[in-house]
Structure 1
């Protein structure tokens, strides 16, 4: 379980997260929606330990992410994250890119890492691209490779930060299909997304962020289908 308790985060004097509390249960899919600058992506960075917090706490299965005693690199092995764009190593094949972290971080043998990489690349529909170099992939295929790379670390949790926002519209569907498959597999996921229809389809809960706070949270039918806060309704109208 991921437990976020009264978290505050500032960049200089600008407070971007203003007391967020949220719990994500094992096997749950939670989508975070909201306008730019509302603190959504920053929260994911804080969960993964890529950003510090000013106050509050974030615990992953009881481990305090920001405690000095926490081995953050070991913890990150359990929390996969996929960004808007993932810069692959252009001189390595797709297979070699996905093998890299299991070998260097997990200490897997070449054979073990290759088996993991082939399994996950096949899982995301790239089993026929193993020997291809990343520059030959479409944007959607590159994002699916990024997902496979994260999955090759056998994470307990997956974080997606606007994973489709940098893609051409015709490529978005293939990445969303991969994310939907992970949700159906029971992966615990937190998605920052503007794909409202997708969020409604796959999420157990949806949180609307506004001005660094969870402004409204509930089931997709509640938050997207029948929002109770006028700001939530205004946001949904603005992107439809």
Structure 2
């Protein structure tokens, strides 16, 4: 379980997260929606320990993420994270990109790492692209490569930060299909997304962010189809118009 208790985060005088409380249970898909700048992406980075917090606590499987004695490198093996940008190493093939972290971080043999990478590339539909360099892949393929790279560390949780926002519209579907596949396999996921239809159909719950706070959280269909809060209604009216 991921537990977020009264978390506050600021960049200087700019308060980005203001007292957020959330729990994400094993096997759940939680979608975070809201306007750009409302704190969704920053929260993911706090969960992964990429950003410090000023107040509150985040626990992953009972381990306090920001405690001084926490081994973040070890903890992050539980938390796969995929960003808007693919960040693949351009001089490495798809297989080499995916095999790198298991070999360096987990210190498994080169042969084991390549076998693991091959398995996960097949898993996301890139089994025929093992020897291809990232520049020769489409945007959707590069994003699926990034997902395979995260999965190769065999995490317990996956964090997705607007993974389709940089893609051409015709490429979005193949990435969302990969997320749907992961859900069907029971992967616990926190997904920051502007795709409200995907959030409603694939998410178990939705949390709506406004100005660094959670304005509403509930079952996905309820938040989209029958929001309780006026701020949520106004946001959905704009984005679904």
Shared fold per TM-score greater than 0.5:
yes
Give the C-alpha shift of residue 206 in structure 1: 0.4
In structure 2, the residue matched to 1:116 is 116
In structure 1, the residue matched to 2:94 is 94
Which 4+ residue blocks in structure 1 deviate beyond 4 angstroms?
none
Computed over aligned residues only, the root mean square deviation of the Cα atoms, in angstroms, reads 0.5
The 2-side partners of 1:163 and 1:87 are apart by: 12
Give the C-alpha shift of residue 221 in structure 1: 1.5
Q: How many residues end up aligned between the 2 structures?
A: 240
Contact 2:2–2:24 (CA<8 Å) still a contact in 1? yes
The 2-side partners of 1:238 and 1:166 are apart by: 21
In structure 2, the residue matched to 1:233 is 233
**Larger deviation, residues 195-204 vs 136-145:** 195-204
Q: For 1:77, what is the secondary structure of its paired residue? A: helix
Cα deviation 1:155-192 (Å, max 9, x = unaligned): 00000000000000000000000011001110000000
Normalising by structure 1, report the TM-score: 0.99
The 2-side partners of 1:102 and 1:201 are apart by: 33
In structure 2, the residue matched to 1:15 is 15
In structure 2, the residue matched to 1:203 is 203
Give the C-alpha shift of residue 114 in structure 1: 0.9
Q: For 2:129, what is the secondary structure of its paired residue? A: coil
In structure 2, the residue matched to 1:181 is 181
Are 2:145 and 1:126 equivalent residues in the alignment? no
In structure 2, the residue matched to 1:219 is 219
Give the C-alpha shift of residue 217 in structure 1: 0.4
Q: Could you list the runs of 5+ residues in structure 1 that have no partner in the other structure? A: none
Q: For 1:227, what is the secondary structure of its paired residue? A: coil
Give the C-alpha shift of residue 201 in structure 1: 1.0
